[in-house]
Amino acid sequence: MKAGYFQFKPAFCKPEKNIEKINTALKDKDFDLIVLPELANSGYFFSSFDEVESASEEIPSGKFCKALRVISDEKNCAVIAGICEKAGDKYYNSSVLIMPGKDIITYRKIHLFYEEKKWFAESDTPFSVHSFSNKRVNDVKIGMMICFDWIFPESARTLALKGAQIICHPSNLVLPYCQDAMVTRALENRVFTITANRTGIDTNREGKELSFTGMSEIVNPKGKILHRGTIEDDEVVILDINPEEALDKNVNSFNNAFTDRKEEFYFK
Binding site residues, a copy of itself, CB under 8 A: 110-111, 113-115, 117, 123, 126-127, 148, 151-154, 157-158, 161, 177, 180-181, 183-184, 187-188, 223, 251-255, 257, 260-263, 265-268
Other Cβ atoms less than 10 A from the Cβ of 8: the count is 24
Buried-exposed string 58-75: b where 16+ CB fall within 10 A, e elsewhere = ebeebebbebbbebbeeb
Q: Which is nearer to a copy of itself, 6 or 119 (CB)?
A: 119
Q: Which is nearer to a copy of itself, 87 or 161 (CB)?
A: 161
Q: Which is nearer to a copy of itself, 101 or 267 (CB)?
A: 267
Q: Which is nearer to a copy of itself, 126 or 231 (CB)?
A: 126
The CB-of-220 to a copy of itself minimum distance in angstroms stands at: 13
Other Cβ atoms less than 10 A from the Cβ of 122: the count is 11
Q: What is the distance between the alpha carbons of residues 222 and 160, in angstroms, rounded to a whole number?
A: 14
The CB-of-44 to a copy of itself minimum distance in angstroms stands at: 15
Give the CA distances from residue 41 to residues 45, 58, 81, 134, 168, in Å, rounded to whole numbers and listed in that order: 13, 12, 9, 26, 17
Identify the burial level of 117 via C-beta atoms within 10 angstroms of its C-beta, where 0-12 means exposed, 13-18 middle and 19 or more buried: exposed
The CB-of-12 to a copy of itself minimum distance in angstroms stands at: 21
Q: Which is nearer to a copy of itself, 104 or 161 (CB)?
A: 161
The CB-of-117 to a copy of itself minimum distance in angstroms stands at: 5
Instruction: Return the closest-CA partner of residue 85 out of 65, 112, 115, 110.
Output: 65
Residue numbers annotated as active site: 38, 109, 147
The CB-of-128 to a copy of itself minimum distance in angstroms stands at: 10
